[in-house]
């Protein structure tokens, strides 16, 4: 009985030591290449990261107008007139027609809430007027002109300017650069580790890519009362590519 207890304790100690020395990424591993157990496939797995930073070259802004009137038709009429003036101002600021796209057209009633706020009994809320809203997304390909575009829109009557975004118009080349950097990073790690272990790197067995692109939104605000001389800084954006690569060991 004591002999079995000693053997069990020894087995537990051996398994515990094996778990402590279990490798994490990057790692060298061995596994059966087929079901018969006659051959073993030895591999090394590493992660490589590549990053490229660039300045955005496109700006997106939402501009529009909100008007109020007692009658719905009057609110819409005033809103349409002011919005047309804003569009004309944008066209005059060298924004192509195709880069101006309507996003929101909305008409909603306004209710009298004074009695409910005063704690007095009241029936159904009374409509006291209407609010009309028209918003358009504007694409600005000349960022040096973005401040002037905001100024022109405000002077034309825009009282809603929000969701200022910056984007990279063609990130494909930057993705290629980040991918090449990620591969170089992974290969460097794999070659160094196999050299330290006295092994030779073989063919790639498996590769998986994941990428991360920056969120374009850099500022937002519901209303801009005065947009003259607006300072605009696009900053930089970083594109990241991660590669998980598994090599065979020769």
- pLDDT cut 70: percent of the chain above it: 74
Average pLDDT over residues 82-87: 97
- Tell whether 227 is covered by a domain: no
CATH code where residue 110 lies: 3.30.70.2970
Residues 176 and 159 in one domain: no
The predicted model scores a pTM of 0.66
Residues 47 and 82 in one domain: no
Of 126, 149, 167, which marks where a domain is finished? 167
Instruction: State how far the alpha carbon of 159 is from the alpha carbons of 62, 224, 227, in Å.
Output: 11, 6, 10
Which residue is associated with the tokens 């994941």? 210
- Tell whether 1 is covered by a domain: no
Q: Which of 12-16, 24-28, 117-121 has the lowest mean pLDDT?
A: 12-16
Average pLDDT over residues 224-243: 76
Q: Helices 146-155 and 72-92, interaxial angle, to 10°?
A: 150
What is the pLDDT, as a whole number, of residue 213?
A: 76
Taking residue 86's Cβ as centre, other Cβ atoms within 10 Å add up to 25
Query: How does residue 212 score in pLDDT terms, banded at 50, 70 and 90?
Result: confident
- Collapsing DSSP to helix, strand or coil, 84 comes out as helix
**Tokens encoding 238:** 């970083």
Contact 209, 79 (CB under 8 A): no
Q: Which of 9-18, 33-42, 122-131 has the lowest mean pLDDT?
A: 9-18
pLDDT of residue 231 exceeding 90: no
Residues 145 and 189 in one domain: no
Of 108, 143, 167, which marks where a domain is finished? 167
- Tell whether 162 is covered by a domain: yes
- Tell whether 12 is covered by a domain: no
CATH code where residue 30 lies: 3.30.110.170
Residues 158 and 66 in one domain: yes
Residues 108 and 137 in one domain: yes
**What is the total count of domains within the chain?**
2
Residues 49 and 64 in one domain: no
Taking residue 83's Cβ as centre, other Cβ atoms within 10 Å add up to 24
Contact 169, 196 (CB under 8 A): no
Q: Residue 169 CA to chain centroid, in angstroms?
A: 14
CA atoms of 43 and 203, how far apart (whole Å) = 10
Residues 89 and 144 in one domain: yes
Q: Residue 190 CA to chain centroid, in angstroms?
A: 31
DSSP label at residue 35: T
- Tell whether 5 is covered by a domain: no
Residues 38 and 66 in one domain: no
Residues 93 and 183 in one domain: no
What is the pLDDT, as a whole number, of residue 116?
A: 58
- Tell whether 157 is covered by a domain: yes
pLDDT of residue 240 exceeding 90: yes
Contact 23, 15 (CB under 8 A): no
- Tell whether 10 is covered by a domain: no
Residues 66 and 143 in one domain: yes
pLDDT 10s digits, 58-72 = 999 999 999 999 999
Of 129, 149, 167, which marks where a domain is finished? 167
Which residue is associated with the tokens 């009282």? 159
What is the pLDDT, as a whole number, of residue 151?
A: 93
pLDDT of residue 94 exceeding 70: yes
pLDDT of residue 122 exceeding 80: no
Residues 51 and 64 in one domain: no
Residues 136 and 85 in one domain: yes
Domain enclosing residue 130, as ranges: 58-167
First to last CA, the chain: 47
Taking residue 130's Cβ as centre, other Cβ atoms within 10 Å add up to 20
- Tell whether 226 is covered by a domain: no
């Amino acid at each position: 009985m004591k002999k079995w207890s000693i053997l069990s304790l020894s087995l537990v100690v051996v398994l515990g030591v094996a778990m402590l020395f279990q490798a994490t990424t990057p790692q060298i591993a061995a596994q059966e290449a087929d079901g018969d157990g006659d051959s073993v496939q030895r591999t090394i797995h590493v992660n490589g990261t590549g990053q490229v930073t660039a300045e955005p070259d496109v700006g997106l802004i939402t501009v529009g107008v909100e008007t109020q009137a007692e009658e719905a038709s009057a609110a819409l009429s005033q809103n349409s007139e002011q919005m047309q003036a804003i569009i004309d101002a944008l066209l005059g600021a060298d924004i192509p027609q195709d880069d101006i796209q309507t996003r929101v057209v909305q008409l909603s009633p306004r209710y009298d809430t004074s009695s409910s706020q005063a704690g007095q009994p009241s029936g159904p809320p009374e409509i006291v007027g209407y609010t009309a809203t028209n918003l358009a997304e504007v694409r600005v390909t000349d960022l040096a002109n973005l401040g002037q575009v905001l100024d022109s829109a405000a002077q034309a009557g825009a009282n809603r300017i929000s969701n200022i975004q910056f984007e990279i118009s063609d990130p494909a080349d930057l993705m290629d650069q980040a991918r090449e950097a990620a591969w170089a990073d992974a290969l460097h790690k794999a070659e160094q580790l196999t050299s330290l272990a006295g092994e030779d790197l073989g063919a790639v067995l498996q590769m998986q890519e994941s990428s991360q692109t920056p969120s374009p939104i850099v500022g937002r605000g519901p209303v801009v009362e005065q947009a003259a001389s607006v300072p605009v800084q696009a900053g930089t954006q970083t594109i990241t590519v991660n590669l998980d690569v598994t090599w065979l060991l020769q």
